[in-house]
């Protein structure tokens, strides 16, 4: 496999050991980032040259999406007990540092996707973070931060998010509500977290226990609507938690179903000439090896789908015409 991979796709995977933050015994497996990287290398799907290290997001990049008050609370450790309870993670300066680095990784993945046609951040997809607070294991909304960066830089005129985590992307939906530059789409388990689901541009909520057939039918609808919006960049939130053995999910997708899901998203985007940036989002399988395998398969398929498919994204605006900032909650 290594010999079949051309140099054009080198440097399309973004990773840092700094993505890890010690959150103690927790259902969110922080170690999955490093394990996914190791899986890709050990399986021959990637080599060292495929990986680039990110820089942390700057405060200016974060403030395109998040409020100054929230950022200051994070930096100064002034989250209230209720805010920490809502975040569902133990606060620490190390968690904030890791979150800034993950956000920088998604910015890098968005930029690299526009250059190569595909890129993946091995962390990120923190779609429950709102502009003014964190929720559900998500401190900063790296998806919105990454898209806001490439829009503000004039690299694309329009973008889209297809969120296939088992949980609806409430923070992303709220941040981009009313923003004509970003089309948001979520396929999720309807009767699952979050209880309140701000509307995406397209939400497809599935019944408890839905399997591959129902899921892939919904995905066909979602892909048609998303690509009709003619995005210059697609962020694919490739959650591993629709898996049938996930602890926090209630859908019934097999490993093969999830592979077909990835193939459809990446294939449709490649056919349309739309660059794709992948972020992993959630994954809480009873066996951590399953979560790692699911994330690694998504990234492997992304690398394979793009090595011979140069992007044909819409041309950026001149620098003299700045992009509108994303909507805020």
Domain holding 273: CATH number? 3.40.800.20
Side-chain-side CA neighbours of residue 324 (13 Å):
11
Give the span between the Cα atoms of 28 and 32, in whole angstroms: 9
Is position 313 within any domain? Answer: no
Mean pLDDT check: name the lowest of 86-100, 216-230, 314-328.
Answer: 314-328
Q: What was the pLDDT predicted at 3?
A: 36
Taken as a whole, the chain contains a residue count of: 329
Is position 63 within any domain? Answer: yes
Helix axes 288-306, 32-42, angle to 10 degrees: 60
For the cut 60, the answer to whether the pLDDT of residue 254 exceeds it is: yes
Q: What was the pLDDT predicted at 2?
A: 37
Domain that holds residue 284: 11-306
Is position 274 within any domain? Answer: yes
Is position 283 within any domain? Answer: yes
Mean pLDDT check: name the lowest of 111-115, 199-203, 325-329.
Answer: 325-329
Domain count, the chain: 1
Residue carrying structure tokens 């490649």: 270
Q: What was the pLDDT predicted at 322?
A: 33
Residue carrying structure tokens 């591959």: 212
Is position 36 within any domain? Answer: yes
- Region 185-214: mean pLDDT is 98
For 208-239, what is each residue's pLDDT tens digit? Answer: 999 999 999 999 999 999 999 999 999 999 99
Assess contact for 165 and 188: CB atoms under 8 A: yes
Is position 210 within any domain? Answer: yes
Is position 268 within any domain? Answer: yes
CA pseudo-torsion sign 226, 235, 328, 166: positive
CA 117 to chain centre: 16
Assess contact for 298 and 118: CB atoms under 8 A: no
pLDDT exceeding 70 applies to what percent of the chain? Answer: 90
Is position 245 within any domain? Answer: yes
Higher pLDDT, 77 or 11: 77
């Amino acid at each position: 496999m290594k010999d079949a991979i051309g140099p054009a796709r080198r440097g399309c995977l973004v990773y840092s050991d700094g993505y890890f933050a010690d959150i103690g015994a927790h259902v969110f497996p922080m170690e999955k980032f490093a394990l996914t990287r190791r899986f890709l290398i050990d399986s021959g799907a990637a080599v060292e040259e495929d990986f680039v290290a990110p820089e942390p997001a700057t405060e200016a990049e974060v403030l395109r999406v998040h409020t100054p008050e929230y950022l200051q609370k994070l930096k100064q450790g002034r989250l209230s007990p209720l805010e920490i309870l809502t975040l569902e993670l133990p606060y620490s300066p190390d968690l904030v540092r890791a979150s800034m680095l993950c956000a920088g990784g998604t910015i890098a993945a968005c930029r690299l996707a526009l250059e190569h046609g595909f890129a993946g951040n091995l962390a990120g997809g923190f779609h429950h973070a709102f502009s003014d607070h964190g929720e559900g294991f998500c401190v900063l909304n790296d998806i919105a931060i990454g898209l806001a960066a490439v829009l503000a830089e004039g690299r694309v005129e329009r973008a889209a998010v297809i969120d296939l985590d088992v949980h609806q992307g409430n923070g992303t939906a709220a941040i981009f509500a009313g923003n004509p530059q970003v089309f948001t789409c979520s396929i999720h388990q309807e009767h699952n977290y979050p209880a309140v689901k701000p509307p995406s541009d397209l939400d497809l909520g599935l019944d408890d226990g839905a399997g591959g057939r129902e899921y892939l039918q919904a995905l066909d609808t979602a892909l048609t609507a998303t690509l009709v919006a003619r995005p210059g960049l697609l962020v694919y939130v490739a959650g591993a938690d629709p898996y049938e053995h996930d602890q926090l999910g209630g859908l019934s997708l097999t490993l093969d179903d999830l592979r077909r899901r990835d193939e459809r998203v990446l294939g449709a985007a490649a056919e349309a000439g739309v660059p794709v940036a992948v972020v992993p989002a959630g994954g809480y399988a009873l066996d951590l090896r399953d979560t790692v395998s699911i994330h690694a398969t998504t990234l492997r398929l992304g690398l394979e789908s793009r090595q011979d498919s140069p992007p044909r994204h819409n041309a950026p605006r001149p620098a003299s015409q700045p992009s509108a900032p994303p909507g805020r909650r």
